């Protein structure tokens, strides 16, 4: 049985950390090859997601010096999820298993050993799960863990404290390729594939160098993407709110009639104003939620490509590019 491993690393403006990331990954891959767990056909593939710095030049130089390193250059910036998908879909015909991880060295590279061991034991998907969030600020820890719980309430199956550090077998990658939606949220899509899965726990570190590419606004946008891409429960909540407001309106109608026949027609001005503002706010919120879904339907129907690969560097496949 061939056990070729491809590690897919999305990169966006990672020139400060890329050389050290490559050094550590080479050491890990060499050790796994010597142990006989993976074959010499294994590779580390960096995906350049339209970086504005020297990220692609560094990837190209690494490829020229060492066949272990490959590179995928996207035609423009497409975002982390699309870059990750581009890498996985490009390498799936060469890899028996693929591991996705970020370039910032926050994910513990030593967890790769446990992932490969569980793959060799028959798992198709192995999730890297954070054992704890000691290094996070109170705000980030509370909001992150609250988000995972919110996703569960919305009916979205996700792995608690798991990001995009995972191993997938060739069979799992082929299953992933069948999901054609343009609005990608891989943390929710991968569990939908099924197949035998397991977990490897690790502690997440601080970035080795550089700054995080996820601002607060990007994190909020990513969170909304996950909910609206995989759940219709927000629309159902709007329907329930509509029913509830209708019932309240009946109560208010009865109250208004009672006040009218009691001769206190001026009474109730405050409740009227509050009702108008409440209903107006709910209507605007409802239109926004419905509009979000309509926008996603619009993007899906256009069937635009999620990414375009401009160049693929892989010395094992030079004649197949």
CATH number of the domain enclosing 311:
3.90.550.10
Pair 26, 78 in one domain = yes
Pair 284, 309 in one domain = no
Say whether pTM exceeds 0.75: no
Pair 239, 205 in one domain = no
Residue 214 reports pLDDT greater than 60: no
Tally the domains of the chain.
Answer: 2
Pair 166, 107 in one domain = yes
Tell me which residue range forms the domain holding 71: 5-137+160-216+305-320
Residue 320 reports pLDDT greater than 50: no
Pair 133, 52 in one domain = yes
Is 226 within the bounds of a domain?
no
Is 223 within the bounds of a domain?
no
Contact 21, 105 (CB under 8 A): yes
For residue range 115-143, what is the model confidence (pLDDT) as tens digits?
999 999 999 999 998 877 655 666 666 76
Is 150 within the bounds of a domain?
no
Pair 25, 81 in one domain = yes
Residue 63 reports pLDDT greater than 50: yes
pLDDT at 55: 92
Pair 191, 245 in one domain = no
């Amino acid at each position: 049985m061939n056990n070729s491993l491809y590690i897919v690393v999305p990169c966006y403006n990672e020139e400060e950390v890329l050389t050290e990331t490559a050094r550590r990954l080479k050491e890990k891959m060499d050790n796994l090859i010597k142990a006989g767990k993976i074959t010499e056909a294994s590779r580390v593939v960096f995906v350049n997601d339209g970086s504005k710095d020297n990220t692609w030049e560094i990837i190209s130089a690494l490829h020229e010096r060492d066949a272990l390193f490959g590179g995928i250059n996207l035609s423009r910036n497409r975002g982390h999820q699309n870059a990750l998908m581009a890498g996985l879909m490009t390498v799936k015909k060469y890899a028996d298993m693929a591991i996705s991880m970020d370039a910032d060295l926050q994910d513990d590279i030593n967890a790769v050993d446990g992932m490969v061991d569980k793959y060799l034991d028959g798992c198709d998907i192995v999730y890297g799960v954070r054992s704890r969030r000691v290094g996070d600020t109170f705000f980030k820890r509370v909001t992150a863990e609250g988000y995972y719980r919110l996703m569960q309430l919305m009916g979205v199956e996700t792995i608690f404290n798991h990001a995009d550090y995972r191993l997938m077998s060739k069979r799992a990658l082929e299953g992933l390729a069948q999901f054609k939606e343009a609005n990608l949220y891989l943390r929710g899509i991968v569990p939908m594939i099924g197949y035998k899965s397991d977990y490897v726990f690790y502690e997440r570190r601080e970035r080795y160098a550089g700054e995080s590419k996820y601002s607060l606004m990007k994190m909020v946008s990513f969170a909304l993407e996950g909910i609206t891409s995989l759940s219709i429960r927000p629309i159902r909540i709007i329907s329930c709110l509509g029913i509830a407001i209708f019932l309240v309106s009946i109560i208010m109608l009865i109250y208004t009639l009672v006040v009218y026949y009691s001769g206190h027609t001026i009474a109730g001005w405050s409740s009227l104003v509050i009702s108008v503002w409440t209903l107006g706010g709910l209507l605007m919120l409802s239109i926004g939620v419905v509009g979000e879904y309509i926008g996603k339907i619009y993007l899906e129907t256009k069937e635009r490509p999620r990414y375009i690969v401009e160049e693929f560097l892989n010395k094992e496949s030079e004649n197949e590019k």
